[in-house]
Structure 1
């Protein structure tokens, strides 16, 4: 079961109150067959704990890696995955669509 946006945002807030470094990833654009709709969230802490989904599991690992960099340097990133992108095949996005995910630190 995918967590609700409320669960994900409450978790991000709770982790920050505990003093953890936190980032949130949000699907901002999709094309073709995409596993999750625009607005889907994934929250990640500095210890790689996470809640939510931006891709039904197929690119979460790559998004978590980017999120750790965002937590460390505070610089948001826009990352894209698509069927024509070699990285997408490496991480498992073979659904035929493309997604853009915005990753930002929660301060």
Structure 2
């Protein structure tokens, strides 16, 4: 599994991975409340092997988002996932910054 690399544009990485024939999911921050480590519009791309590029939370919930992205690649259904400090999942994943984030996860087809 690749790690977070802030120097690469996740959308360009997604294009390259699609050209290589990989299945790709895109996770996008669609809303934040309070203190959030990444702004709305931040992206994380994930392939079917679990490789990822970009960031939606500065490392706080990436593992959970990678899992959701792989589920989207299997079933093809986009989804919104929410994380916040009151959410036990967020604490387990490390989102203890005091904010909440919503992330839209979709499969990139075509």
State the TM-score bracket (shorter-chain normalisation). Answer: over 0.9
**Residue 2 of structure 1: how far off its partner (Å):** 1.8
- Could you list the runs of 5+ residues in structure 2 that have no partner in the other structure? none
3-state SS in 2 of match to 1:55:
coil
Aligned counterpart, 1:90: 92
1:74 to 73, 76, 79: 76
Aligned counterpart, 1:2: 6
Per-residue CA deviation, residues 73-93 of structure 1 (Å, 9 max, x unaligned), is 110010000000011101000
Q: TM-score, normalized by length of structure 2? A: 0.92
Measure, in 1, the Cα distance between the counterparts of 2:7 and 2:76: 25
Q: List 4+ stretches of structure 1 deviating above 3 A.
A: none
3-state SS in 1 of match to 2:21:
coil
**Residue 3 of structure 1: how far off its partner (Å):** 3.5
Q: TM-score, normalized by length of structure 1? A: 0.94
Per-residue CA deviation, residues 6-41 of structure 1 (Å, 9 max, x unaligned), is x21111011111111100000000000001000000
Aligned counterpart, 1:105: 107
Residues matched between the structures, number: 105
